[in-house]
Amino acid sequence: KAGVTQTPRYLIKTRGQQVTLSCSPISGHRSVSWYQQTPGQGLQFLFEYFSETQRNKGNFPGRFSGRQFSNSRSEMNVSTLELGDSALYLCASSFRSTEQYFGPGTRLTVT
C-alpha cells in the first residue's frame, strides 16, 4: 500500500497570510490526525478526524482548523499566520485509532 502523502512538502508564507495543507491517508484508514512539530515544543496534537467528524482537538487557537472529506483525505488550514507557526506539520493515519502512520510532513516557514 502507498504510504501517507502530504502536499506541499515545503512552503514559505508571510505573516498574516493563510495556508492550506493536504494529507492523503493510507487506503482504508479512516482516522487522520495532525501534529505540529517544533524543536522547542516537540510533537503537539492539533486535531483528529474520523469519518469526516472531528473527534478531538488539541490546545491550539481557532486560527487552526481542519476538515476531512468522504474519501478520508484531510486538509488543515491556518489563517493569519504568525512567525511562531513555523514548524513541521505532520499528518498521520490509522485504521482503528491504534498505531499511527506518519507522512513526510510539510515544512512551513513564516517570514
Radius of gyration of the chain (CA): 13
Decide: helix, strand or coil at residue 76.
strand
User: For residues 52 and 10, is the Cβ–Cβ distance under 8 A?
Assistant: no
> According to CB under 8 A, which residues from 12 to 71 bind another protein?
31, 33, 35, 42-45, 48, 50, 55-56, 58-59
Helices vs. strands in the chain: H and E counts, helices first: 0, 11
Nearer Cβ to another protein, position 70 or 98?
98
In the complex, the smallest distance separating the C-beta of residue 56 from another protein, rounded to whole angstroms, is 4
Interface residues with another protein (CB under 8 A) are: 31, 33, 35, 42-45, 48, 50, 55-56, 58-59, 90, 92, 97-105
